[in-house]
């Protein structure tokens, strides 16, 4: 069964996602990121400029199948664009991604924005009603340390 984790309280959702992706790729994971077009464009730019010595190879959902297969990170507007992937799915979108259940793990990144938190509650409810185990990571507690 797919493991679901919610990372709550990200002050900058895309900056946090970049750090999360760096950690995931460093551990050898293949990651698909689902988000709206504007967020994907910004995330693409952010991944190119993470730091002067850091580069996270990635591709878009529109890339060829062979390129997506070689990329540790694939940026898509819906999970169907990465149908051959099954590792980690990072969801930055407002709804539960279609086809999430084929992934080993889903990570829901939630900002401090009230609207984003409300949408996250709906996604949490969706997963729990279907029996998916959920792990909660409160990022505000980590910042307080």
Residue-wise pLDDT for 29-74, tens only, equals 999 999 999 999 999 999 988 777 777 888 777 676 667 677 889 9
Q: Kindly write down the DSSP assignment for every residue of 84-145, as one continuous string.
A: T--SEEEE-SSSPPTTGGGSSEEEEEEES-HHHHHHHHHHHHHHHHTT--EEEEEHHHHHH-
Mean pLDDT of the chain: 89
Task: Output the pLDDT for position 49.
Answer: 81
The ranges assigned to domains in the chain are 3-144
Is 73 in contact with 89 (CB distance < 8 Å)?
no
The CATH number of domain 3-144, selected from 3.40.50.10110, 3.90.1170.20, 3.40.50.10170, 1.10.540.10: 3.40.50.10110
User: What separation, in Å, do the N-terminal and C-terminal C-alpha atoms of the chain show?
Assistant: 33
Query: CA 49, 52, 57: angle at the middle one, nearest 5?
Result: 55
φ and ψ at residue 130, rounded to 5 degrees: -105, 5
Round to whole Å and give the CA distance between 95 and 106: 13
**What is the distance between the alpha carbons of residues 132 and 1, in angstroms, rounded to a whole number?**
7
* Higher pLDDT pick, 66 / 133: 133
DSSP 54: B
**Which two structure tokens, joined as six digits, stand for 53?**
């010595």
Task: Give the pTM.
Answer: 0.91
């Amino acid at each position: 069964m797919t493991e679901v984790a919610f990372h709550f309280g990200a002050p900058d959702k895309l900056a946090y996602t970049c750090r999360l992706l760096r950690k995931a790729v460093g551990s050898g994971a293949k990651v698909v990121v689902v988000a709206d077009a504007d967020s994907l464009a910004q995330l693409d730019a952010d991944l190119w400029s993470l730091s002067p010595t850091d580069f996270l190879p990635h591709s878009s959902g529109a890339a060829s199948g062979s390129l997506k297969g070689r990329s540790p990170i694939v940026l898509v507007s819906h999970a169907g664009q990465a149908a051959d992937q099954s590792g980690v799915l990072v969801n930055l979108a407002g709804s539960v991604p279609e086809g999430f259940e084929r992934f080993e793990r889903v990570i829901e990144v939630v900002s401090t924005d009230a609207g984003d938190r409300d949408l996250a509650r709906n996604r949490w409810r969706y997963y729990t009603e279907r029996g998916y185990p959920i792990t909660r990571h409160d990022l505000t507690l980590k910042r307080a340390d």
